[in-house]
């Protein structure tokens, strides 16, 4: 089987989707699938005009010349014109739900326009059962063409050795946007011991300015460490030392940070967003996304009783490693490819 994979979101500083694409490629190659990696390093995928040029012009040209049997659009967007059977991974439908703060052209392209591409794909992969429900609610995609495949977590999270020292910081990882609900952690921080810090990793949006102002108004600005993009080794070190990984999102298609924390053996708390509940599967505390007092209470319980929290996290680590194995995810993805080729 020869598969061409859109890997443009691995260019530059990769986010969760870039992590997904890189992990999938490596796992497919380990299964001896012939993978052609399609990317153009000279194009910044985070500039809309460059993304559009790649998606709709260069990607279909590259795919048609690749000699592949199948095109996998693993980043959630797909060209209008294509000659090969196609599989698309839809990571979430947030652009169809609520992105009122985004520019109109981005809302249209990543929302309504992309929904039309989902409906024309040979097969559609989603990251969670919740994402499948959302996709079917927001589009006219045929349910029989949709497959749920949980992404894997990179092996280097499995090999993290948790520090025995009590490092009193909360780790939040992900793009700083409204649906990530970082404000609830800042409000919770104001009720915790002043030695406890919040470390925020990920690219910012206009929402970051709001969060910074909130931190200042609550007099915790000196306890919030804004890291932006960081090298992978540094991120792994943070997972090794964080007292707890907090994922308070209002909306997620999956919840990579929660899965990574489980696999790293780090204590984790998530919101009651359905996909996060699905990811932790009863193995971590779940709190109402907007209840900052509940977050304060649970974070304080973990930070003040680190040994018990570590023991609970260690007890579910092996299970998480099996649930979020790239070996399993690649096998399931290959089954989807076979369905697409047989269609």
The pLDDT-based confidence of 166 (bands split at 50, 70, 90) is low
Domain ranges for the chain: 2-152+325-342, 155-323
Dihedrals φ, ψ of 339, to 5°? -65, -40
The larger pLDDT score, comparing residue 257 to residue 111, is at: 257
pLDDT tens for 191-249 read 999 999 999 999 888 899 999 999 999 999 999 999 998 999 999 999 999 999 999 99
pLDDT digits (tens, 9 = 90+) for 297-331: 999 999 999 999 999 999 999 999 999 999 999 99
155-323: what CATH class?
Answer: alpha beta
Q: Is the CATH number of domain 2-152+325-342 3.40.50.2000? A: yes
State the pLDDT at residue 100: 63
CB-based contacts of 21: which residues, under 8 Å, 6+ apart? 5, 6, 7, 9, 10, 14, 74, 75
Q: What's the pTM?
A: 0.92
Percent of the chain residues past pLDDT 90, beyond the cut = 85
pLDDT, residue 182, reads 98
CA dihedral over 38, 39, 45, 49, signed as positive or negative: negative
Q: Tokens 């009863």 — which residue?
A: 282
One fold for 2-152+325-342 and 155-323: yes
Residue range 13-19: average pLDDT?
80
Token pair 């070190």 is found at: 237
How far apart are alpha carbons 325 and 317 in whole angstroms?
12
């Amino acid at each position: 089987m020869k598969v061409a994979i859109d890997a443009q979101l691995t260019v530059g500083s990769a986010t969760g989707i870039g992590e997904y694409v890189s992990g999938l490629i490596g796992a497919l190659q380990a299964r001896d699938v012939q993978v052609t990696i399609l990317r153009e390093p000279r194009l910044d995928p985070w500039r809309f005009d460059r993304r559009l040029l790649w998606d709709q012009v260069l990607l279909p040209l590259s795919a048609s010349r690749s000699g592949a049997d199948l095109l996998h659009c693993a980043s959630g967007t797909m060209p209008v014109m294509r000659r090969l059977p196609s599989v698309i991974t839809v990571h979430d439908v947030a652009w169809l739900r609520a992105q009122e703060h985004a520019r109109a052209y981005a809302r249209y392209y990543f929302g309504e326009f992309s929904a039309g591409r989902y409906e024309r794909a040979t097969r559609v992969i989603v990251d969670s059962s919740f994402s499948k429900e959302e996709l079917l609610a927001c589009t006219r995609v045929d349910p029989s063409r949709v497959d749920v495949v949980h992404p894997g977590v990179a092996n280097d999270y499995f090999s993290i050795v948790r520090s025995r020292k009590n490092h009193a910081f909360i780790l939040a990882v992900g793009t700083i946007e409204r649906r990530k609900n970082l404000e609830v952690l800042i409000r919770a921080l104001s009720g915790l011991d002043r030695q406890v810090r919040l470390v925020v990793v990920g690219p910012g949006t206009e929402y970051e300015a709001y969060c910074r102002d909130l931190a200042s108004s609550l007099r915790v600005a000196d306890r919030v460490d804004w890291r932006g993009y960081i090298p992978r080794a540094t991120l792994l070190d943070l997972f090794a030392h964080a007292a707890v990984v907090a994922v308070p999102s209002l909306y997620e298609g999956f919840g990579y940070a929660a899965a990574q924390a489980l696999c790293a053996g780090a204590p984790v708390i998530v919101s009651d967003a359905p996909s996060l509940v699905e990811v932790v599967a009863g193995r971590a505390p779940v709190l109402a996304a907007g209840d900052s007092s509940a977050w304060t209470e649970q974070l304080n319980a973990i930070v003040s009783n680190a040994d018990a929290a570590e023991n609970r996290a260690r007890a579910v680590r092996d299970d998480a490693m099996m649930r979020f194995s790239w070996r399993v995810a690649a096998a399931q993805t290959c089954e989807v490819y076979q369905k697409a080729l047989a269609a």
